[in-house]
Structure 1
Amino acid sequence: MAHSRCPSDGLLARVNFPLYAVDMLTSRHILVAGGGGSSKTGVANGFEIYELYHNGTHFCAEEVLRHETGSNVVMNFALRIGGRRGYLCAGQEAHCQMYYIQPRVLSEDKGHGNGVSDEKPAPADWSHGRGNLRQRNAHSGVESVTNGNKHPLSTADILRQSQQLLFDIQAADVVQTDFLKGAEPLQRVVRISGNGQLMATGGTDGHLRVWTFPQMTLAAKLAAHSKEIDDLDFSPDSKVIISISKDAQGVVWELASGHIQHKLQWKTPEGAKYLFKRCRYGTVEAQKNNYRLFTIANPLGKVGKQRGFLQHWDCASGQLRQAVAIEESLSSLAVRDDGRFVAVGTMFSGSVSMYIAFSLQRVLHIPNAHSMFVTGIQFLPITNEAGPPISSDTEAAVLSISVDNKVCIHSLPQRRIIPAWMAIAFLIVMIFAAFVLCSFIGI
């Protein structure tokens, strides 16, 4: 079982199996997955769900659910939530297994003083609890709880109305998504489009398959690459999808026609061969119909801490706009939901870094965050699609996982900005002081 509390940035939880995938289930629930495979090593396979909160000084996590998947390790997954049912599509060897995720409420009746839990089996909405939010009190440095208005609840009210969101996971349909001949097929990646209508999978046979969602019926099959697909991502408008592969190709496809929109091409350092490792789209702040494309790339056949690159591409032309060299190979990539920040995890040192998206300026670096390579990274959301974001004194926070079994969090402190009125007042005072000084010395 996981350790549930963390005193500061860094370790949030430790799971008893290697971790390969992470995402936010809601605005305050983390879902991680992995396992030890089908070998009889005693290492489990499955999912863990944690509730994340900020207590006024640091982030904490509490285990909500553990779901084991038998002999099937979960190497990748995609989530789609909304209404009263969520969908979890998990890569298990050559197949994609769908799970239904049903939220429900556990209320603790503490008014009787007997500590008895009264479980409510009735389903809850994913946004349940929006009116019962933890919010940091700026004066006390601790969190208060509100009931949907500006007046915080009393301690007695909190105890009486304490509620926890729980989840039931139920296996549903399964489809085979990879058909490599002569070797073991394996699904490497699965994504769900932003409009929730399509699912895409890629694996060792190099084919990009597009499925209707949630029916999971095959809509298109593209012979996209000559080698296995490493990553996919839908554009925010769900009109195109990018696929990257071990054949060193990055290709953007038009979903309506199945045609290539463009290929990613760049001048590699000293003519060395590089392979794209991960790809992610991100929106441009305050521009819903505009977006950026980010990739990470590593040198081929190099051993040791060779330079990897974080890259920003122009989505209209497919041309490389910016690139920043990082002094080792990269393993994971994430873009925050508002498009302001990008984060990467490294292959050898297990480090995590955060960058400003439009300039690729590094603003946070956590060396040796993990003892092994970072297998997954994910920002805490700031939008309200599945409930309000967690209140904290940080500008951005990112989760990271690794095969070292650890779930960690890394936050960027809030940058202090002088209010405009204060800057204007200071300028007026300085002008007045300069005028008085000039008058005094007779200038």
Structure 2
Amino acid sequence: MAPTRRPSDGLLARVNFPLYAVEMLTSRHVLVAGGGGSAKTGVANGFEIYEIYHNGTHFCAEEVVRHETGANVVMNFAVRNDGRRSYLCAGQESHCQLYFVNPRIVYEGQEESATEADERRPRSNSTAEHGNENGVRRRVAQASGVQDLPNGHATGASKKTGDQNANLKRIRFDIKAADSVQTDFLTTEPLQRVVRISPNGRLMATGGTDGHLRVWTFPQMVQRSDIASHNKEIDDIDFSPDSKYIVTISKDGQGLVWDLATMKQHHQLKWTTPEGGKYLYKRCRYGTIEAQRDKYRLFTITNPLGKVGKQRGFLQQWDCISGQLRSAVQVDESLASLAVRDDGRFVAVGTMFSGSVSIYIAFSLQRVLHIPNAHSMFVTGLQFLPITNEEGPPISSDTEAAVLSISVDNKVCIHSLPQRRTIPAWVAILLIIVVLFGAFALCSYIGI
């Protein structure tokens, strides 16, 4: 049975707007986005960047910067880090807005620049201090809606503990808007549903309500290809790790894999559905095969159509050469989100109705962690903490894997898989020797 959540896991941060997208900006910084839309509801739209760290007992988050996007809610985005700065491509209605995210080093105690001070200044009520039930004083910043949490998760102000941190370096980010291009051209209410940047950083792909797959050069955002790939809106797309293929899934029920060199269909995802029922692909993600960086798998989550209250979704693994379904595991309800860790070892799914999160071993689809009711509403996004060293050292912790989850309940949560006990190599060798010796002795005794 999969272990349940440890008491130290759970709520990492809370903002004052619904969350729709999450991605790692660096190996230690996570970017979340969302908002209340263009209606005058008083709910903000924009981004939040947090630094994630482990204090020896649990994961914590410190707010780094908040950037509001006016009347434009951010429903999807993609990030590309080139080592000097990051490119952020955000879906805003029918357009894709490019932002430059420039890191800079500041020191604890250093005065904020006028720009940073203005960015963090409360926009409505003034900042106030309140005491919580544990007697710990916390700062409630109306500008960001981020709270100091009594379990040790803290914003920046509560981490400053005296002169010993006076020369401590910290990374801050400046977010600046750049070019914007229209990516969806539906006659009524066009909307970009998804954007991805290829692993080699040369291409960007977008999909939306008009059913077209559009491929752009990156970061120039010049359109390279436009394919009427589906007759209904595209729900998700993803590039293969070698940047040679791209998969698209749509509400028309199709999952298609395209060759980026020719922009022709490579194969279609087909499987025999239970009792011949109608199923729709919801999310798709490629993942490398552990210790084989030149090989990879494709994962999808699939939900039944038209069975309200009786939904049983599937997590599926596909062969990327033949396009055949390799394995699948059924889940007790419809699925909403999917993530694969950067080394391809683990897969995570989030559910639609109960707001639960589960982690699976990628090659076997064996569930190793289940977090029921992680959120009060459906899980809109998942992101594993990375373990590779491409964008800086990973976060050190006592866990085998950790995944971030977001929802329209305004919460950023984290769920970690404790290190599973394994037999040391020397013990395994000793056991093998004992078994072989015992077998030899038994054979000698019975005269074989």
Q: Distance in 2 between matches of 1:246 and 1:90?
A: 22
* 1:234 Cα deviation from its structure 2 partner: 0.3
1:250 is aligned, of 248, 255, 266, to 255
Structure 1 residue 418: Cα displacement:
2.4
Q: 1:105·1:120 contact (CA, 8 Å) conserved in 2?
A: no
CA distance in 2, matches of 1:430, 1:285: 31
Deviation at 1:302, TM superposition (A): 2.0
- Residues 7 and 60, structure 1, Cα contact 8 Å, conserved in 2: no
TM-score between both structures, scaled by the size of structure 2 = 0.84
Aligned length: 393
CA deviation vs aligned residue, 1:149-198 (integer Å, no higher than 9, x gap)? xxxxxx999746411100000000000000001x2000000000000000
Amino-acid identity (%): 77
The amino acid of 1:177's aligned partner reads T
Separation in structure 1 between the aligned mates of residue 436 and residue 304 of structure 2, nearest angstrom: 56
Distance of aligned partners of 1:212 and 1:427 in 2 relative to their CA distance in 1, 3 Å threshold: closer
SS in 2 for 1:216: coil
Q: Which residue of 1 aligns with 2:32?
A: 32
Residue 343 of structure 2 corresponds to 338
Question: What is the rounded CA distance, in whole Å, between the counterparts of 1:74 and 1:227 in structure 2?
Answer: 22
CA drift of 1:421 comes to 1.7
TM-score, length of structure 1 as denominator length:
0.85
Amino acid at match of 2:356: S
Residues 433, 233 of structure 1: CA spacing in aligned structure 2 closer, same or farther, 3 A cutoff?
closer
Note the 1:213-252 alignment, pairs <5 A.
213-252=218-257
Corresponding residue number in structure 1 for 2:398 = 393
The answer to whether the aligner puts 1:184 opposite 2:174 as a matched pair is no
Which residue is 1:135 aligned to? none
* 2:166 pairs with 1:173: no
2:72 is the counterpart of 1:72: yes
The 5 Å alignment of 1:188-203 reads 188-203=193-208
Distance 1:171 1:222 in 2: 28
Distance 1:119 1:36, change over 3 A: closer
Contact preservation (8 Å) 1:107, 1:120:
no
Q: SS at 2:427's partner residue?
A: helix
User: Which one is further off, 412-421 or 241-250?
Assistant: 412-421
Alpha-carbon distance between aligned partners in 1 of 2:246 and 2:256, rounded to the nearest angstrom: 8
Q: Post-superposition shift, 1:420?
A: 1.2
Tell me, in whole angstroms, the C-alpha distance in 2 between the residues paired with 1:18 and 1:402: 7
Aligned to 1:322, what secondary structure does the other structure show?
strand
Cα deviation 1:17-53 (Å, max 9, x = unaligned)? 0000000111110100000000011000000000000
Map 1:304-323 to 2 at 5 A: 304-323=309-328
Letter in 1 for 2:183: T
| Matched-pair contact (CA < 8 Å) for 2:9–2:59 | yes
What is the CA–CA distance in structure 1 between the aligned matches of 2:113 and 2:419, rounded to whole Å? 39
- CA pair 286-433 structure 1, distance change in 2 beyond 3 A: closer
Q: For residue 435 of structure 1, report the CA deviation from its aligned partner.
A: 11
Q: Distance in 2 between matches of 1:392 and 1:305?
A: 39
Give the structure 1 partner of residue 126 of structure 2.
none
Matched, 1:296 2:289: no
- Shifted more, 38-47 versus 7-16: the winner is 7-16
Query: Could you say which residue in structure 2 is the equivalent of 1:106?
Result: 106
Matched, 1:60 2:60: yes
Q: How does 1:87-106 map to 2 (within 5 A)?
A: 87-106=87-106
Give yes or no for contact 1:7–1:58 (8 Å, CA) kept in 2.
Answer: no
1:266 to 260, 264, 271: 271
User: Is this contact kept in 1: 2:107–2:166, CA < 8 A?
Assistant: no
Q: Secondary structure at the match of 1:26?
A: coil
Residues 242, 434 of structure 1: CA spacing in aligned structure 2 closer, same or farther, 3 A cutoff? closer
Distance 1:14 1:156, change over 3 A: closer
Of 378, 381, 384, the residue aligned with 1:379 is 384
Tell me which of 413, 418, 422 is aligned to 2:418: 413
User: 1:158 & 1:286 partners in 2: Cα distance?
Assistant: 42
Measured after TM superposition, the shift of residue 301 of structure 1 is 1.8
Q: Which residue of structure 1 lines up, in the alignment, with residue 13 of structure 2? A: 13
Structure 2 letter corresponding to 1:117: Q
Secondary structure of the 2:288 match is strand
Q: Distance in 2 between matches of 1:102 and 1:377?
A: 24
Matches within 5 A, 1:115-194: 116-117=109-110, 159=165, 161-181=167-187, 183-194=188-199
Gap runs ≥5 in structure 2:
1-5, 115-160, 442-448
- 8 Å Cα contact 1:36/1:45 also seen in 2: yes
- Counterpart of 1:85 in structure 2 is 85
TM-superposed CA distance for 1:117, in Å, is 1.7
Residue equivalent to 1:136:
none
Q: CA deviation digits over 1:403-441, x for unaligned, max 9?
A: 0000000000001222212343466678999999xxxxx
Change (3 A) 1:261 1:430: closer
Following the alignment from structure 2 to structure 1, what is the Cα–Cα distance between the partners of residues 336 and 411?
A: 16
Q: Deviations over 1:252-291 (max 9, x none)?
A: 0001101100000111111110000000000001111100
C-alpha distance in 1, partners of 2:312/2:17?
Answer: 30
2:134 corresponds in structure 1 to none
Contact residue 208 and residue 221 of structure 1 kept, 8 A:
yes
